[in-house]
Amino acid sequence: MPPTDRFIPSFAAEPPQEATPSGRWAETLTSEFLAAVSGIDADGEDLGSPGEIRWFPDRTYAGRTYVPASARTSTGFELFGFVSYTGGDGAEPSDFRAQADFTAETAEENPAWKLDLSDEVIAVWRGEGGARAEITLVWGVPLIRGGALVTAELANLAVDQCEVQAERFTLIAPDNYMGDFLEVKLWGRRGNELAVESLYVEDDEDDGPPEAPEG
């Protein structure tokens, strides 16, 4: 193959390795996530009580495993975030870290959405000439039927993919690199493209880079 003009890490994260958390493992992750939820600065909003936590497929990057989560609250907000840890593959999980935030922008309030996405930058990768890419954890839910696989694309180059598991998926991919921004695409079982969403919302009043959504 000829040299590429987009020298960027692709498929750098391990594919999902574990089943949906259950039993004592789910209790451990839940405790970590709820501790992060308790530290949210709600800016005066009444977040209410968290409901059932939905866990997303795990992904491992640079020796740390990330398990995203979301939950609705009794007052209609959505909590989103992740628990991460080191270890696994026979080693006892340790060095737990968790992040959580909330949003009022839910799928029910946005019927035009085809993918319900959340994201968080977890690392930075330095490329040519010191240009930086944001290594981004992306998790979400397809809002249309028939999806089998999700890809992350940067400048039309696939940089990660994940099978849809229980209507959920998790990606780890470089974003915001040399003027290019990540797109998430949903594919059917026959390889047909069903949906495409950006992580950003266009701002017509600003000529700067697009803004990231709340959740």
- 11-55: per-residue pLDDT in tens? 999 999 999 999 999 999 999 999 999 999 998 999 999 999 999
State which H helix or E strand residue 26 sits in. helix 23-38
How far is it, in rounded angstroms, from Cα 100 to Cα 81? 4
Which tokens sit at 158? 């696939």
Q: What is the DSSP letter of 153?
A: E
- pTM here is 0.90
pLDDT category, 2, cuts 50, 70, 90? confident
Q: Give the pLDDT of residue 204.
A: 44
Q: Please report, for residues 50, 53, 95, 98, 111, the alpha-carbon distance to residue 32 in angstroms, rounded to integers and kept in the order given.
A: 14, 12, 11, 6, 32
pLDDT average, residue stretch 174-201: 94
